[in-house]
Amino acid sequence: MKTFALALALAISTSGAPIAGGDSSPSPAALRVETAQKVLQKQPNRFQADNDLAMALIRRARETGDSSYYQQAQDAIDRSLKIQPENFEAGQAHVALLLAEHQYHSALDEAQTLNHRMPDAVLVWGYMAEADAALGDYKQAEEAAQWMMDLRPGNLPAYLCGAALRQDWGDIDGALDFFSKALQQTPPFEHEEAAWILTRMARIHRQMGRTAQAEALLKQALTTFPDYRLSLQELAEVRMSQRLYPEAVEWLDRRNRSFPTPISHLLAARAFDGAGRREDAARMYAQFEREARAQIELPENANRELIAYYLEDGRRPQEALRIARLELQSRHDVLTLDDYAWALFANGQTAEAQQQIQKALADGTGDAAIFYHAGVIEAAVGNRADSIHNFQHSLDLNPTSEVAEAARRALSKSGNYTAVRYTQDSGR
C-alpha cells in the first residue's frame, strides 16, 4: 500500500481559510507551518502547536520531496512530549512520521499502543491499516479499514484507506471509486491533497493502459497544484508508456529542478535511453545506482527500483537477491514478494520463486508485470496452463505495459494464438 498517512490526518483535521491557487500562493502546509511557528513564538510551551507543526512539516516533505522536513518534524514532536509527556496527538504525529519514513514495524507497534489508549480514534485505525498492508497482513489491514468506516461511516480517511487497499488487491474499479469519493470530500483549499489524489488515480489508469484518462487527470492535478513533483513525474511515465521519450525528458527535467530522488533520476535515464541520448542515459543510470546504493540500508529507499535495474541488465542478479531479502525484513507486501520471486528466478532458484510468486498472487494484484513474472516462472517449472493464464491476464490488465510484447511472444510460442489475437484486437 502506498503511503497515505498524511492524507488521513489532514482529512480528519483540516483548518485554515481558502486561499487562491497559482504559483505565488503558499501551499496549505506552508501556511500551517507558518501559523504554528507564530503560535510557538508567543507561547513556546503550547505543545499542541508543536504537534500541528510536526504534521505540517511531514506534509511539506510530501509536497516538495525535501526529506529534511522529517527531522524538523521529529524535533517538534520531541518538544511536545517534553512539555506534555505521552500526549496523544504527539503519538499520532510520530506514527505519521514513521509511516512517511517507511518504518512500518515501529509504526504498527506505536499505533497499536495508541489504539489501546483510544479505540475510537479513526486516524489510528488508518495508520494500523497502512502498516499492516505494508507488512503483508492484508486481513488485519482490512479489519482496521472496516473499523474506520464503522466508527464514522462514509468518512474521507476511510475512503482513502479503502482505495489503497483495493488497489493492492487488484480491485481497480473499486479503488478508483473510493479515490473519486475522497476527492469529492477534499476541501477546495487543499490543493496538494487534491493533486495527490488525482495523481494516484492517474497512475492506476496508466497501469491499466488508459493513457488518455491518466493524462486528463494529471493536467487537472497540475492546474490544481502547479509544478507538483509527483504529477510531473507521473506525466513523464505516461509519455514513456506512449513511447514519447523526448517529451518525457522535458517533464522529468522540470520535475528534477528541485529535490530529485534516485527514482526520478532512474526515470530520466530511461527517458534519455528511449530518446537515443545514450551518453546522458549512462550518466543518469550511474547517478541513480550511486544514490540508490547509498540508501539500501535506510527505511526510505529505492530498493525496488535497484532490484529491477540489476535484474533487467543482468549484471548483478546476486546483488538483486541480497537486496530483495533485506526488503523482506522491513515489508512483506505484494510488490516486495514479487521482487523477491523475480530475483530468486534470476538466480536459478525456480522452485522457491514459484512459492513466492504464488504468495504474491494469493493476496491479489492488478499489476500486469507481476502476472508476467508469474507466467515466466510457471513456464519454467512446467506448468503450461498456469503460465498461459498468467501471460494472458497480464495482457488483459494492460495490453501496452512494458512487459506486453514479451507476454505476447510467450503466448505465441505456447501456441495460444487465439489469446494473442484477442488481446491485440481488444482495443483496451
Q: Which three cell numbers stand for residue 262?
A: 534516485
pLDDT of residue 364: 84
> Which contacts of 374-377 are long-range, i.e. CB under 8 A and separated by 24 or more positions?
375/407, 375/410, 376/345, 376/410, 377/341, 377/345, 377/350, 377/353
Is the pLDDT at 220 greater than 70? The verdict is yes
Predicted TM-score (pTM) of this structure: 0.89
CA 322 to the chain's CA centroid: 22
Cell of 400: 501496452
Cα 302 to chain centroid, rounded: 12
Q: State mean pLDDT over 4-32.
A: 57
Q: For the chain, what percent of residues have pLDDT higher than 70? A: 91
Write out pLDDT tens, residues 100-135. Answer: 999 999 999 999 999 999 999 999 999 999 999 999
Q: How many CA atoms lie within 13 A of 54 on its CB side?
A: 27
Q: What is the CATH number of domain 1-151?
A: 1.25.40.10
What is the tens place of the pLDDT at every residue in 128-176? Answer: 999 999 999 999 999 999 999 999 988 888 999 999 999 998 899 999 9
What pLDDT is stored for residue 154 in this prediction? Answer: 81
- Dihedral sign computed on CA atoms, order 193, 271, 306, 373: positive
User: Is 63's pLDDT higher than 60?
Assistant: yes
User: With bands split at pLDDT 50, 70 and 90, how would you rate the model's confidence at 315?
Assistant: confident
How many Å apart are CA 14 and CA 25, to the nearest integer?
Answer: 18
Specify the pLDDT at position 24. 53
Closest CA to 197 of 185, 182, 219: 182
Helix 122-134 crosses helix 88-100 at what angle (to 10 degrees)?
30
CA 342 → CA 140, 175, 357, 376, distances in Å?
27, 26, 8, 9
The count of other CB atoms within 10 Å of the CB of residue 241 is 18
Q: Residue 5: is its pLDDT beyond 90?
A: no
Rounded Cα distance between 338 and 354, Å, is 10
**Residue 363: its pLDDT value, please?**
82
CA angle at residue 302 from 300 to 304, to 5 degrees?
115
* CA 365 – CA 82 distance, rounded (Å): 44
Cell of 307: 532490484
